[in-house]
Structure 1
Amino acid sequence: MTGFEHEVVVVTGAGGGIGRATAQRFARRGAVVVVADIDKERADQTVETISECGGDATPYAVDVADGTAMESFAEDVRAEFGTPRVLVNNAGFTTAGPFLEHSLEDWERLLGVNVWGLVHGSTYFGRQMVESRRGGRIINVTSVAAFAPIPLSTPYCTTKAAAQMLTEGLRLEFAGTGVGVTAICPALVDTGIYDEGEVDGADEAAVARTLSISSLAQRFVAHSPDSIARTIVRVAARNPAVVPTPIEARALYLATRVSPGGARLAARVFQNDSITGLRGRVLPRVLERVDAYLEKKLEQRGPSD
């Protein structure tokens, strides 16, 4: 696949972050973009940004965790636009907190979005691609969390690891059909996912601080969603198997392959008990100031940023 002019591209979780940036980049390449998000208002906003630049995009509100809704969505897309040439399964959800303090409902929501969302999209749109005999690309946005454990994020890492194996299995399943399947594994990206993440645990203030610091790190340390979107568009034209991005993600991916034991040792240094204990001991007044600073920054950012 060398170009996207007039090709149909479906992007889930396109109401913001990586999804919005990806939709915008495909539109600039001449694609007909289907902008899907659970929040119709945010999908509309993405479409507005594309239309302002002369691009072609249509918003859809759909919950990727709902199999029936996704099947209907896929049918609607084919009826209106034809079979997509590219599907970007980008929608994602996160939580933070100790494993034992996550509820089954937390797990169901994480699995619903991060795993079942990919299953639903790959099933319904993948079948269309195979039946069309034109081929296509399925790009699943997983995470470095798929192969590197993150403290206080065991459920999230588990779902991303499942998404990674699903993607690699699909690549084998679809081999020979003309449908390529790729896993994009971003490192820290300023997507806003930590702003929307949920807190689980008895010490909610402490865990919430962890999410807030992660949110702040996104803005000052993380890469932009557009940098990941650029990689996704490039990958859609080529069809590699696994693409950790950017460079630190590639280094981490290689490290886990070369020395899995070393990666586990590094994770144990930051085990949950150490982190929560440190939070309880280190300069409460300083932490209060950090909280105040973070709150001020989030207020300045505003809901439309």
Structure 2
Amino acid sequence: MPPQRTVLITGCSDGGLGASLALAFHAAGLKVYATARNPSKLSQCTSAGIETLTLDVLSSESIKSVIPKLPRLDILVNNAGATYVMPGSDVKIPDAKALFDLNLWSYLEMTQACLPLLLQSSYGGMIVNQTSVASVAVVPFSSVYAASKAAVAMLSDTLRLELGVLGIRVVELKTGMVRSNIINNQKDAKPPVLPEKSIYAPVKEIVERALSQDDINGTGMPTLDWGRAVVGDLLRKNPPPVIWRGENAWLARIGTVLPFGMLDGVVKKLTGLTAVEKYLKA
């Protein structure tokens, strides 16, 4: 009888996408290692009987300390991440670099650290990367976040070929709108406020409303429903290399084959950029 299939998931704080994946994998009978930087935020997984580990994916030492605690590993889910909403003209480069450290380089470091275990998997190892529809959809004021996700998408696609010859699958999660905590987490960490000398200062109120994302916060596919759907896809005999789940993920997918800029008008209206343009041209 083959051993129980195992999965390690990063970024499993309560109410987030990682926690929903952990719960869904657990319900499907897998041995789950749910991780987060702050163990006090893992109560949702702990109460379900899921084993939790403290892991800071930005710390090489933390990563090295966790790997020996895994007797084996079949699936790695790189999910930990953050967003950054700010006009490109006002982005602070240190903040942008920090976002790439989390959203891109931690994925590669976790992949490298887990590869020896994944290569020994009885089921064939699998790496799952959270790339988001932001990797293909143009969303004003999210240039750095989208760039980090696009970078993960290309990394994933390249690793799919490089590691595929070794029997390891690489899968992307092109996630649309889900009722997760990512917007609130970003606002709690650093509320998006335009700098005083921003070129958008004349329309500060309009832009900051867009940056707050209050109009979309709390909307989207229920988190637990998203987790169950994604895990169902991942546990298929032949899981797809790209999984599109979440509200409006289908629209982003269609957008990848439409003529360039076809959805610009819709996106500008949804993000308040149309109102900005109208005011500045008045």
- Contact kept, 8 Å, 1:188 with 1:223, in 2: the verdict is yes
Partner of 1:66: 59
The one-letter code matched in structure 2 to 1:19 is G
1:252 and 1:137 map into 2 onto residues whose CA distance is: 25
Q: Which has the higher helix share?
A: 1
The one-letter code matched in structure 2 to 1:69 is S
Shift of 1:40: 1.4
Structure 2 residue aligned with 1:112, among 101, 115, 138? 101
| Structure-to-structure mapping, 1:33-72, within 5 angstroms | 33-43=32-42, 45-51=43-49, 57-72=50-65
Shift of 1:267: 4.6
Partner of 1:300: none
- Secondary structure, aligned partner of 2:158: helix
1:100 and 1:279 map into 2 onto residues whose CA distance is: 19
Deviations 1:237-287 (A, max 9, x none): 232111121363123212222323324565566788645467899xxxxxx
- Secondary structure, aligned partner of 1:244: strand
- Secondary structure, aligned partner of 2:80: coil
2:88 and 2:193 map into 1 onto residues whose CA distance is: 9
| Alignment of 1:254 onto 2:265 | no
Cα distance 1:205–1:39, how it changes in 2: closer, same or farther (>3 A)? farther
- Contact kept, 8 Å, 1:102 with 1:200, in 2: the verdict is no
Cα distance 1:252–1:46, how it changes in 2: closer, same or farther (>3 A)? same
Shift of 1:193: 0.7
TM-score by length of 2: 0.83
Higher mean Cα deviation, 225-234 or 247-256? 247-256
The one-letter code matched in structure 2 to 1:77 is K
The one-letter code matched in structure 2 to 1:76 is P
Structure 1 residue aligned with 2:172, among 176, 180, 183? 183
Cα distance 1:10–1:101, how it changes in 2: closer, same or farther (>3 A)? same
2:85 and 2:163 map into 1 onto residues whose CA distance is: 35
2:279 and 2:111 map into 1 onto residues whose CA distance is: 41
- Secondary structure, aligned partner of 2:164: coil
Partner of 1:26: 25
The one-letter code matched in structure 1 to 2:131 is T
1:120 and 1:101 map into 2 onto residues whose CA distance is: 29
Deviations 1:198-234 (A, max 9, x none): 325226876553344x345232x31111122113212
Partner of 1:298: none
Unaligned runs of 5+ in 1: 52-56, 282-305
Partner of 1:157: 146
- Secondary structure, aligned partner of 2:220: coil
Cα distance 1:184–1:166, how it changes in 2: closer, same or farther (>3 A)? same
2:3 and 2:208 map into 1 onto residues whose CA distance is: 44
Deviations 1:18-56 (A, max 9, x none): 11111111111222211111221112x1333312xxxxx
2:69 and 2:90 map into 1 onto residues whose CA distance is: 40
Higher mean Cα deviation, 201-210 or 115-124? 201-210
Higher mean Cα deviation, 107-116 or 270-279? 270-279
Identity percentage of aligned residues: 23
1:249 and 1:228 map into 2 onto residues whose CA distance is: 12
2:226 and 2:129 map into 1 onto residues whose CA distance is: 12
Structure 2 residue aligned with 1:9, among 7, 10, 14? 7
- Contact kept, 8 Å, 2:85 with 2:141, in 1: the verdict is yes
- Contact kept, 8 Å, 2:86 with 2:211, in 1: the verdict is no
| Structure-to-structure mapping, 1:283-294, within 5 angstroms | none
TM-score by length of 1: 0.77
Partner of 2:69: 77
The one-letter code matched in structure 1 to 2:7 is V
Partner of 2:220: 222
Unaligned runs of 5+ in 2: 196-200
Partner of 1:299: none
The count of residues paired between Structure 1 and Structure 2 equals 266
- Contact kept, 8 Å, 2:124 with 2:167, in 1: the verdict is yes
